[in-house]
Chain A
Amino acid sequence: MTEMVYGAVPAQGGEPILPKWWRTLDKWSMSCVLILFGVGLLLGLAASPPLAARNGFDPFHYVERQAIFGGAALVAMLLTSMMSPILVRRLAVLGFLCAFVALALLPVFGTDFGKGAVRWYSLGFASFQPSEFLKPGFVVVAAWLFAASQEINGPPGRLWSFALCMAIVAMLVMQPDFGQACLVLFGWGVMYFVAGAPMLLLVAMAGFVVLGGMVAYSSSEHFARRIDGFLNPDVDPTTQLGYATNAIREGGLFGVGVGEGQVKWSLPDAHTDFIIAVAAEEYGLILVLIIILLYASIVVRSLLRLMRERDPFIRLAGTGLACMFGVQAMINMGVAVRLLPAKGMTLPFVSYGGSSLIAGGIALGMLLAFTRTRPQGEFGDILRGRG
């Protein structure tokens, strides 16, 4: 009767958001992220008291901050992962524009906190590093451009995204922040690779990289010293690397015990770049392997899920985000075990750092949104006899 009088309640189109989110989400990856965040807090408890002592705070000052920022990051991640890819793309493009402007204005309003590179905005209670937010935004924009270029009569998206990439790299190099610049370049390269870069070009690029490396090695003494130091089988124990290597050795399989580690007192970057050394010393190889496993599962699972994805934009954006995330973790840990030459890079979601945490949360939220299960038109394939 009511319906006859007032008209029918408009039917809900499709599933409610939360059940749909839960059903389609890559729950394994999300669990890995949550565990990683927990590990980050645990290691913060171990690694940051020396820093707090040096700066005259309570022993767990940085852990508290990490927990607050981490909570915000988790909320951001969950919210982002609930969005549809289109909404993610729209917001990410807007965010990218803001971050781009912020990055461009850094030389004017930024501060270097006495570290020699202008990378931050000081907000009083916290600092803000635009390049961290720029990375996921750039991946989305570039993926959009790549995807658009794959349409018939589409814009020349590859060229545009390459120009954009170069502009960002140039700004990052000027700061200077070679690590982030390399990450951005790497992210673009991976997307170009998946978007179908010609094989010949890839071989030529590999050749150029080797050639450039050799030229740099023979002409730049600084570069040559780093490489020599890397190739030299003996580590100078007074360097950060020496301390890190020694810490890993001291830790052994099961670690020296909670709170017993020494390396955090000697390494200035124990809470960021060398947090894996702290983990290895106090908790041993076990925890390190778990951390590596967590990163590997997030990246590999995401890539495998993206293989089934038909939408080129989602595929490319997901690839860029997953690879950037993975490579950052890999470089960080590879440096600590001397598989790679020294380069400062944070361990995403574990190292201390507000911007990096929240930006990492947003990036992972996007990744989770992109890797959600979606109807991929398999039915149509079967119908058309191509399945």
Chain B
Amino acid sequence: MSRIPLRPLARILEARSKGENPDVIERENIRQRHEEMQDRARARAEGRLLVLGVFFFCAFSVVGARMGLLATSEAQEPLASAQGANIATQRADIVDREGRILATNFETHSLYAQPPLMVDPVAAAAGLAQVFPDLDKERLIKDFTGKRKFIWIKKRISPEQKQAVHDIGDPGLLFGPREMRLYPNGMLAAHVLGGAGFGKEGVNAAEVIGVAGVEKQFDGYLRDPANGAKPLKLSLDLTVQAAAERVLLGGMKIMNAKGASSVLMNVHTGEVISVASLPAFDPNDRPRPPTSGFDPSDSPLFNRAVQGVYELGSVYKIFTAAQAVDLGLVNSETVIDTSGPMRIGGFPIGEFRNKNYGKLSVADIIVKSSNRGTGRLAMQIGSKRQQDFLNSLGMFDPTPFEIVEAQGGQPLFPKQWGELSTVTISYGHGLSTSPMHLAAGYAAIANGGHYVSPTILRQKGPQYGPRVMSPTAARQARKMLRKVVTSGTASFGEVPGYAVGGKTGTADKPKPRGGYYEDKVIATFATLFPAHDPKYVLVVTLDEPSILAYGKKRRTAGWTAVPVAAEMIGRIAPLLGLRPEVEPGETAGITLTSN
């Protein structure tokens, strides 16, 4: 090997001078450079490969060590969820306006089995089958002797059942604490409360979540630990609710109706004091929703007062009259020609039983419930103003009532609001709303012209919304309503001392495929009392009532809904703290004082 000269070209020059081929030397130089480069790369790669080897060795060692640590640690009973996601157990109570319990929590236990811990699986299965007759012994034996390590047996058991299971004495039968939602009043206010079920479930706790009603609407509030389990105070009054449901159930049976609902609302605060829908259910044991072959709106779970939208009929006439007075088109004494025939767009507008009332004052139109009369008023009002007025009463949107089902009560109204619609809606046909909508509308008449939104929460004072009609119009409308009871279709509605005013409505039920049934009606009585200074609005609705009276089948509200409502007012007005009063006479304006 020759010495590399300091000057790279020296050897080449030397070779040239000797006459040799310099290419050989050039190649030799390149080869040397290449070898040096390769050597450098190899040395570097050697080091880096060693690094890689050490890295892999360490990494595999760590995996092995970790595996060893895991394998030597104790196996744990499975927890339902990781720590840090604790299941909040305390759910706030729900109370009525006086603080009486409507929903609370109850400590129970769940029962589960761990067959590997069992001493005598067969005896345990036999014992369980004795304590819980609904369990199948053979199946339990199969479960306990099979491969399963963990089996839920019962989600909730009573203290007595727990003791009985305890007495079986098998260490493989274990209990987990369970907070359970309890509705001590049973079926009372079932539709408002809704119900609760278990959400996330573990051995040591289960989450209670609302599934319907206020339990679902206020689920976040009820579960929020930040509220310190402060109870949710509703506007309901337990005693009034009980009386109302009792009367309604009796009325429904007597009137042979298949369903019924009632709404009692404070006209100033919007508080709903009682709301009932029948048939009802027990929220402690909430039934499953019907799946098929069954109209969901006939299910006990269906809230007729809030969810159900119906054409409620003549009860709407008072809105037409009130608006006509409010606009200054008429007053209660203005005479309107209600004689027939009247055709709107080729469609005849008739009266009940094809009567012909001739010329009637506006008040008498309401008292006699003349379709043609209100139709003429509505034509004077016009479709645009009628829509605006009904909209201001909240008739086009679901009620803001705070239970989840209220969102389902979307009113149905015609997209094309022509002259015919204007006329039919003036007497309550063609517009479907829930009884709750109607109660809110009547509250506006009762409180002197303010819209109030119905609420299930306890309020501190009057909650007036925007003004929808003048106090004068509201007063005249109240007088008309009072007259309906004293000398009109609702004469059975008189409750001595409580000056009931109201309007009946009997609407043929629409067939599912269009047209109307001849013999199925929705009978409604919407009332306010006392009529001279209304405090409450009550709407009673009966679904398909019919009663034999004076030798005839009667379906109209005057014969069905009105007596039920009257009985209800007679029972609940004292509970509401209303004293029977002598109605002030026509000498209005003179205040009665006593010294």
Residues of chain A having any CB pair with chain B under 8 Å: 150-152, 190, 193-196, 232, 234-238, 242, 245-246, 248-253, 262, 265, 280, 284-285, 288-289, 292-293, 295-296, 299-300, 303-304, 306-307, 310, 312, 315, 319, 323, 326, 330, 333-334, 337-339, 384, 386
Residues of B within 8 A of A299 (CB): 53, 56, 60
Among A234, A292, A323, the residue within 8 A (CB) of B52 is: A323
Shortest Cβ distance from residue A29 to the other chain B in the assembled complex, whole angstroms? 13
Q: Which of A284, A296, A315 contacts B60 (CB 8 A)?
A: A296
Between B37, B52, B59, the greatest number of chain A beta carbons within 10 A of the residue's beta carbon is seen for B52
B57 touches A296 (CB 8 A): yes
Which residue of the partner chain A has the closest CB to B49?
A307
B residues in contact with A234, CB < 8 Å: 79, 82-84
Q: What are 21 A-B pairs at a CB distance below 8 A?
A: A150-B38, A196-B44, A196-B48, A232-B84, A245-B70, A246-B76, A246-B78, A262-B147, A262-B149, A285-B67, A296-B56, A300-B53, A303-B49, A303-B50, A307-B50, A310-B42, A323-B52, A333-B63, A334-B63, A339-B62, A339-B66
B81 at interface, CB cutoff 8 A = yes
Which chain A residues border B70 with CB–CB below 8 Å? 245, 248-249, 280, 337
The reply to whether A237 and B38 form a contact with Cβ atoms under 8 Å apart is: no
A285 CA to B63 CA, complexed, in Å: 12
- Please give, as numbers and ranges, the residues of chain A lying within 8 Å of B74 by CB-CB distance: 249
The reply on B588 being an interface residue by CB < 8 A is no
Complex-state Cα separation, A157 to B355, whole angstroms: 103
CB–CB A193/B53 < 8 A: no
Instruction: Find chain A residues with CB under 8 A from B48 CB.
Output: 193-194, 196
Contact between A150 and B37 (Cβ–Cβ < 8 Å)?
yes
Closest approach, in angstroms, between the C-beta of A243 and any C-beta of chain B? Answer: 9
Q: Chain B, 300-335, contact with A by CB distance < 8 Å: what is the 0/1 string?
A: 000000000000000000000000000000000000
Shortest Cβ distance from A304 into B: residue: B53
> Smallest distance from the beta carbon of B427 to chain A beta carbons, Å?
57
With A152-B30, A152-B37, A253-B72 known as contacts, the answer to whether A307 contacts B46 (CB < 8 A) is: yes
Q: How far is the CA of A166 from the CA of B75 in the complex (A)?
A: 45
B residues near A193, Cβ cutoff 8 Å: 48, 52
Residue numbers of B with Cβ under 8 A of A are 1, 30, 33-34, 37-39, 41-42, 44-46, 48-50, 52-53, 56-57, 59-64, 66-68, 70-76, 78-79, 81-84, 147, 149
B34 A151 Cβ-Cβ under 8 A: yes
A296 to B147, CA, bound (A): 36
Q: Is the CB of A310 within 8 A of B56?
A: no
Give A202 to B594 CA distance when docked, in angstroms.
100
What are the residues of chain A within 8 A of B45 when measuring CB–CB?
A: 194-196, 307, 312, 315
> Contact: A252 with B41, CB < 8 Å?
no
How far, in angstroms, from A196 to B42 measured CA to CA in the complex? 9
Q: Which residues of chain A are near B82, meaning CB under 8 Å?
A: 232, 234-236
Question: Would A303 and B53 count as touching, CB distance under 8 A?
Answer: yes
- Evaluate contact between B71 and A253: CB separation under 8 angstroms: yes
- Measured in the bound complex, the distance between the Cα atoms of B346 and A95 in whole Å is 85
Q: How far is the CA of A245 from the CA of B52 in the complex (A)?
A: 29
A249 to B66, CA, bound (A): 11
Residues of A within 8 A of B63 (CB): 292, 330, 333-334, 337, 339
A304 contact set on B, CB distance < 8 A: 49-50, 53
| Cβ contact within 8 Å between A152 and B34 | yes
Task: Take A194-B49, A250-B75, A319-B52 as given contacts and tell me if A285 and B84 are in contact as well, using a CB distance cutoff of 8 Å.
Answer: no
Chain B residues near A295: list those with CB within 8 A. Answer: 60
Nearest-CB residue, chain B, relative to A380: B35
Evaluate contact between A310 and B38: CB separation under 8 angstroms.
Answer: yes
Give chain B residues whose Cβ lies under 8 Å from the Cβ of A315.
42, 45, 49
**Which A residues touch B53, using CB under 8 A?**
299-300, 303-304, 307
Knowing that A312-B45, A315-B42 are A-B contacts, what are 15 other residue pairs whose CB atoms are under 8 Å apart, sorted by A's residue number?
A150-B38, A190-B52, A196-B44, A232-B84, A234-B83, A292-B67, A293-B60, A296-B57, A300-B57, A303-B53, A307-B50, A310-B38, A312-B42, A319-B49, A330-B59
What distance in Å separates the Cβ of B145 from its nearest Cβ neighbour in chain A? 16
What's the Cα separation between A265 and B147 when bound, in Å? Answer: 11
User: Whole-angstrom distance from the CB of B34 to the nearest CB of chain A?
Assistant: 6
In the complex formed, the residue of A with least CB distance to B147 is A262
User: Nearest Cβ in chain B — how far from A198, in angstroms?
Assistant: 11
Most A CB atoms within 10 A — which of B48, B50, B60, B64? B60
Chain B residue at minimum C-beta to C-beta distance from A285? B71
A151 to B37, CA, bound (A): 9
Docked CA distance A252–B70 (Å): 8
- Distance (whole angstroms) from the CB of A218 to the closest CB of chain B: 20
Residues A196 and B41 in contact in the complex (CB < 8 Å), given A249-B73, A285-B67:
yes
Residues from chain B with a CB closer than 8 A to the CB of A306 are 49
CB-based closest 7 A-B pairs: A296-B60, A234-B82, A303-B53, A249-B75, A237-B78, A285-B71, A337-B66
Complex interface: chain B residues within 8 A of A303 (CB): 49-50, 52-53, 56
Complex: chain A residue closest to B46, CB-CB = A307
Q: In the complex the two chains form, what is the Cα distance from A238 to B50 in whole Å?
A: 41
Question: CA–CA, A237 to B81, complex, Å?
Answer: 7
Residue of A nearest to B64 (CB): A292
Q: Is A289 a contact of B68 with CB atoms below 8 Å?
A: yes
Which of B38, B67, B83 has its CB near the most chain A CB atoms (within 10 A)? B67
Contacts of B44 in A (CB 8 A): 196
Selected from A194, A238, A312, A326, the residue in CB contact (under 8 A) with B56 is: A326
CB-defined contacts of A280 to chain B, threshold 8 Å:
67, 70-71
A370 to B163, CA, bound (A): 73
Q: With A and B bound together, what is the CA distance between A265 and B62 in angstroms? A: 28
Residues of A within 8 A of B71 (CB): 248-249, 251-253, 280, 284-285, 288
CA distance A77 to B34 in the complex (A): 34
Chain A nearest Cβ from B115, distance in angstroms = 12
State the Cβ distance, B43 to closest chain A Cβ, in Å.
10
Q: Which residues from chain A contact B83 at a C-beta distance below 8 Å?
A: 234
B87 vs chain A, min Cβ distance (A): 14
Most A C-beta atoms less than 10 A away, residue of B42, B56, B74, B79: B56
Closest partner residue, chain B, to A329 (CB atom) = B60
Q: Are A248 and B49 in contact (CB under 8 A)?
A: no
In the assembled complex, the Cα of A251 lies from the Cα of B33 at a distance in Å of: 59
With a CB–CB cut-off of 8 A, which chain A residues contact B37? 150, 152
Q: What separation, in Å, do the CA atoms of A207 and B410 have in the docked complex?
A: 59
| Closest partner residue, chain B, to A242 (CB atom) | B78
Q: Point out the residues of chain B lying under 8 angstroms from A330, CB to CB.
A: 56, 59-60, 63
Which residue of B is nearest A381, CB measured? B39
**Distance between Cα atoms of A310 and B43 in the complex (Å):** 10
Q: Complex Cα distance A158/B68, Å?
A: 42
Q: Which residues of A contact B62 (CB under 8 A)?
A: 339
Residues on B with beta carbons closer than 8 Å to the beta carbon of A252: 71-72
A237 near B79 with CB under 8 A, answer yes
Residues of A within 8 A of B34 (CB): 151-152
Measured CA separation A236–B74 after assembly (Å): 16
Contact yes or no, A289 B30, CB < 8 A = no
Q: Whole-angstrom distance between the alpha carbons of A306 and B41 in the complex?
A: 13
User: Whole-angstrom distance from the CB of B112 to the nearest CB of chain A?
Assistant: 15
Instruction: Tell me the complex Cα distance, A252–B74, Å.
Output: 9
Per the bound structure, the CA–CA distance linking A333 and B62 in Å amounts to 11
- Chain A residue numbers with a CB within 8 Å of B33 are 152
CB distance from A18 to the nearest CB of B (A): 29
Minimum C-beta distance from A71 to chain B (A): 28
Q: Contact between A285 and B68 (Cβ–Cβ < 8 Å)?
A: yes
Could you tell me the distance in whole angstroms from the C-beta of B411 to the nearest C-beta in chain A?
40
Q: Measured between alpha carbons, how far is A191 from B191 in the docked complex, in Å?
A: 71
Chain B residues, Cβ within 8 Å of A285: 67-68, 71-72
Give min CB distance, A128 to chain B, whole Å: 30
A196 to B76, CA, bound (A): 49
- A235 and B67 CA atoms in complex are apart in Å by 16
Chain A residues within an 8 Å CB radius of B68: 285, 289
CA distance A236 to B80 in the complex (A): 7
Q: For residue A250, which residues in chain B have a CB less than 8 angstroms away from its CB? A: 75
In the complex, the answer to whether B1 meets A384 with C-beta atoms within 8 Å is yes
Whole-angstrom CA separation of A299 from B81 in the bound complex: 39
